[in-house]
Chains A and B, each alone.
Chain A
Amino acid sequence: QKEVEQNSGPLSVPEGAIASLNCTYSDRGSQSFFWYRQYSGKSPELIMSIYSNGDKEDGRFTAQLNKASQYVSLLIRDSQPSDSATYLCAVNIISSGSARQLTFGSGTQLTVLP
Chain B
Amino acid sequence: DGGITQSPKYLFRKEGQNVTLSCEQNLNHDAMYWYRQDPGQGLRLIYYSQIVNDFQKGDIAEGYSVSREKKESFPLTVTSAQKNPTAFYLCASNGVSTLGANYGYTFGSGTRLTVV
List the interface of chain A (C-beta within 8 A of B). 31-32, 34, 41-46, 49, 51, 88, 90, 92, 98-102, 104-107
Contact = CB atoms under 8 A, between A and B. Distances in A.
B109 A32 contact: no
A104 B109 CA distance: 18
A105 B102 contact: no
A88 B109 contact: no
Interface of B: 31, 33, 41-43, 48, 50, 88, 90, 94, 96, 100-110
Interface centre among A45, A51, A100 (most CB of B within 10 A): A100
A46 B107 CA distance: 9
Interface centre among B43, B90, B107 (most CB of A within 10 A): B43
A109 B6 CA distance: 25
19 contacts: A31-B102, A43-B90, A43-B109, A43-B110, A44-B105, A44-B107, A46-B106, A49-B103, A49-B104, A90-B104, A99-B96, A100-B94, A100-B96, A101-B31, A101-B48, A102-B94, A102-B102, A102-B105, A106-B42
A43 B108 contact: yes
A69 B102 CA distance: 21
- Which secondary structure characterizes the binding site on chain A? loop
Contact of B42 (A34, A88, A102): A88
Contacts of B33: 101
A104 B33 CA distance: 13
A90 B105 contact: yes
Given A99-B96, A100-B50, A92 B102 contact: yes
A27 B48 CA distance: 21
Given A43-B109, A43-B110, A100 B102 contact: yes
Contacts of A98: 31, 48, 50
B107 A45 contact: yes
B66 to A, nearest CB: 15
Contacts of B101: 32, 51
Nearest to A97: B56
